[in-house]
Homo-oligomer: A and B are copies of this chain.
């Protein structure tokens, strides 16, 4: 096989650039509460969740493809940073910021791979395919697990109400309706304990 050094160098530059995913810290903390979680760790944990929870995915979901989306969905945050979901102000202009980051990051790659990796990100963001619906569900289920183990760490940061948390978990309800009753029960328990605020009275 003839290897193009110019091509290999671009691939290697990309490998090194995305190392920054290990320095993008999320609002979630680890189960042992020792520190905040990084984007790289979150993406990895989502990938294992996708393998573990495959049986609850929409029928006909290509789990291997969903796995690729899990691994790649946050890459653009090496330039755009992590945006806290419950911070409305921080979310203004998020999509534009992330598109710019995607243009810049994927341009490092050879053309064919630029298109491939960009397509993973676009597919995840659009959330129209079964695979992207399932990957989006993992993106919400994984931090939900961390919240259950840390006294609702990110919920408390923003005094999240039950409605806010349910809205955030909506992709889980869509992609894995069979386990939604379990989620509801856990939320009931957390709301009772005061880790999630009651919805304001109408």
A43 within 8 Å of B by Cβ?
A: yes
A38 within 8 Å of B by Cβ?
A: yes
CB distance B48 to A16 under 8 Å? no
A18 within 8 Å of B by Cβ?
A: yes
CB distance A149 to B16 under 8 Å? yes
With beta carbons under 8 angstroms apart, the residue of B16, B18, B34, B71 that contacts A67 is B71
* Residues 39-87 (chain A) with a chain B CB within 8 angstroms: 40-41, 43-45, 47-49, 51-53, 56, 64-65, 67-68, 71-72, 75
A14 within 8 Å of B by Cβ?
A: yes
Q: Which residues of B are found within 8 Å of A12, using beta-carbon distances? A: 145
Copies in the complex: 2
Instruction: Give the total of A residues in contact with B, Cβ under 8 Å.
Output: 51
CB distance B49 to A15 under 8 Å? yes
Q: Sample 27 A-B pairs with CB under 8 A, ordered by A number.
A: A1-B178, A3-B56, A11-B53, A12-B145, A15-B52, A15-B145, A16-B31, A18-B45, A19-B32, A19-B45, A19-B149, A20-B32, A21-B44, A21-B45, A22-B41, A38-B38, A40-B45, A41-B44, A44-B44, A44-B47, A48-B75, A51-B71, A52-B113, A64-B65, A64-B67, A64-B68, A67-B71
Report the Cα distance A104→B10, complex, angstroms: 42
Report the Cα distance A56→B160, complex, angstroms: 48
Q: Which residues of B are found within 8 Å of A145, using beta-carbon distances? A: 12, 15-16
CB distance A72 to B56 under 8 Å? no
CB distance A44 to B71 under 8 Å? yes
With beta carbons under 8 angstroms apart, the residue of B22, B68, B109, B179 that contacts A8 is B179
Sample of 10 further A-B pairs with CB below 8 A, known A3-B56, A40-B40: A3-B178, A3-B181, A8-B182, A15-B48, A15-B49, A19-B146, A20-B31, A20-B32, A52-B109, A71-B71
Report the Cα distance A88→B41, complex, angstroms: 29
